[in-house]
Amino acid sequence: MAVGELIKTSREVQATEIPAGVRATIPAGASLRIIQTLGGNYTVMTDRGQMLRIANADGDAIGETPTPPPAPLVGAAPDAPFSEQAVWDQLKTVYDPEIPVDIVELGLIYECKHAPTPQGGEHVDIKMSLTAPGCGMSEVLKRDVEHKVASLPGVREVSVEVVFDPPWGPERMSDAAKLKLGIL
């Protein structure tokens, strides 16, 4: 389906309200407009203007074929060595459901550190922010980051902390993100 296209759900589907972050049920036959299809999830708008995020696994309800999670760009074998670049590459596959820019380019990643664990593999610590304090999508984005980074070879543990100090502002965005959003 194309972004902006009007579609109907083929079945009842669970979604997350944006920006509240609460679960919602979309009934079968509901009319939706696809707003964005980035990071493996779907942002849709109802005919009443409500924005919802549908998980990749439920893409079939809107006529999409669920896509497999992105493969690590470095070291595809499970026993491959840890790669910090692969962590950053995975972070670039996480998108704010309201903004068509990944969280790295938005400047939401404040810190990304790693250290070996006693059991082998690496512990990855990430401090990230949101574009607005109190955003209900906080836990959703945090889980996306944890899941995608934990899937990488050599990663044994992942800790993600959402912080608001310093507060996020548009000056933290990359020039590419500003250009994409028409800020430059």
Q: Are residues 120 and 58 part of one domain?
A: no
167: CATH: 3.30.300.130
The predicted structure's pLDDT at residue 84: 95
Q: Are residues 18 and 54 part of one domain?
A: yes
Q: How confident is the model at residue 74 (pLDDT cuts 50, 70, 90)?
A: very low
Kindly state whether residue 36 falls inside one of the protein's structural domains.
Answer: yes
The predicted structure's pLDDT at residue 75: 41
Task: Please tell me the distance from the alpha carbon of residue 169 to that of residue 130, in angstroms, as a whole number.
Answer: 10
pLDDT digits (tens, 9 = 90+) for 38-56: 888 999 999 999 999 999 9
Task: Please tell me the distance from the alpha carbon of residue 112 to that of residue 3, in angstroms, as a whole number.
Answer: 32
- How many structural domains comprise the chain? 2
pLDDT at 71 over 60: no
Structural domain harbouring 96 = 84-180
Residues of the chain above pLDDT 90, percent: 79
| Residue 172 identity (one-letter amino acid) | R
Kindly state whether residue 77 falls inside one of the protein's structural domains.
Answer: no
Domain edge (last residue) among 62, 95, 110:
62
Q: Are residues 99 and 58 part of one domain?
A: no
Q: Are residues 150 and 89 part of one domain?
A: yes
Task: Please tell me the distance from the alpha carbon of residue 107 to that of residue 127, in angstroms, as a whole number.
Answer: 11
Q: Are residues 167 and 126 part of one domain?
A: yes
Q: 115: which 2 tokens?
A: 């250290």
| Residue 48 identity (one-letter amino acid) | R
Q: What mean pLDDT is predicted for residues 142-160? A: 95
Question: pTM for this one?
Answer: 0.85
The neighbouring-strand residues paired with 7 are: 32
**Do residues 128 and 163 make contact, with C-beta atoms less than 8 angstroms apart?**
yes
Q: Are residues 31 and 118 part of one domain?
A: no
Short-list 69, 42, 67, CA closest to 54 = 42
13: CATH: 2.30.30
User: Residue 117 contacts by C-beta under 8 Å, 6 or more apart in sequence?
Assistant: 123, 156, 157
- DSSP E strands, 39-103: 42-46, 51-54
Q: Are residues 154 and 122 part of one domain?
A: yes
